Amino acid sequence: MKTEEAIVLIGGGGHCRSCIDVIEEEGKYAIAGIVVRDHAHREEVPGYEIIGTDADLPRLVKEYRNFHIAFGQIRSSHGRLSCFRVLEGLGATLPVIVSPYARVSRRARTEGGTIVMHNAVINSGVRIGRNCIINTGALVEHDATVGDCCHIAPAAVVNGGVTIGPGSFVGSNAVIREYLTIGAEVVIGMGVVVREDIPDATIVTGNPAGGRGRR
């Protein structure tokens, strides 16, 4: 395996297994192995070796160039953000990963560390920040902006012109009306229909959106 073609995945849970499938189908990188939080968090990842823990990252960055953060986020982006900052500080490269079964407009911009999973659609004029998850079957419509460290969950719909602040989560099958502004560190629950702007650090539940709480 050539080091420049290899990629190391951080996290060994269910989201990691989904990332593996996307990376294998994309065919740009050979997975060198999996890094887990510590020895108490070792899970079996079929076909791939656990090659270290978080404490080994300084050593691994000297051996491998490419890394991907392969654990998810729902209530908080802090874990992914912290890991991203550590890897950047060590000089790692975090490439954009796009499933060959996704549709990403040539007029969209997607930044480092982001993964676009199977059957997702990112349309013209969209800007996706760093270290995001655009999960299976999600739709991000024209001219929307998704900030750093966001997770757009499976089958969620972000309509045209929406702005989502960094660190936010949009649950499965949630729908955000066009041209709304969603703040930073917002959690939008599964199936929620959002019809008005949402301030920072808010948890939104109900359908249509009705329940509100502060994080």
Segment 117-121 shows an average pLDDT of: 98
Q: Does 2 have pLDDT greater than 80?
A: no
Q: Does 1 have pLDDT greater than 60?
A: no
Q: Is 204 helix (H, G, I), strand (E, B) or coil?
A: strand
Segment 149-166 shows an average pLDDT of: 98
pLDDT in tens, 51-110: 999 999 999 999 999 999 999 998 899 999 999 999 999 999 999 999 999 999 999 999
Confidence of residue 210 (pLDDT cuts 50, 70, 90): low
Token representation of residue 76: 């908080």
Q: Does 207 have pLDDT greater than 50?
A: yes
pLDDT at 211: 63
Which residue bears the tokens 């650090």? 201
The maximal CA–CA distance of the chain, rounded, in angstroms, is 53
Share of the chain above pLDDT 70, in %: 92
pLDDT at 41: 61
* HEC per residue, the chain: CCHHHEEEEECCCHHHHHHHHHHHHHCCCEEEEEEECCHHHCCCCCCCCEEEEHHHHHHHHHHCCEEEECCCCCCCCHHHHHHHHHHHHHCCECCCEECCCCEECCCCEECCCCEECCCCEECCCCEECCCCEECCCCEECCCCEECCCCEECCCCEECCCCEECCCCEECCCCEECCCCEECCCCEECCCCEECCCECCCEEEECCCCCEEEEC
pLDDT in tens, 7-57: 999 998 899 999 999 999 999 999 999 999 886 666 667 789 999 999 999
Segment 140-163 shows an average pLDDT of: 98
pLDDT at 212: 66
| Cis before 166 (ω within 30) | no
pLDDT at 75: 84
Residues in the chain: 215
pTM over 0.75: yes
Are residues 65 and 87 in contact, defined by beta-carbon separation less than 8 angstroms? no
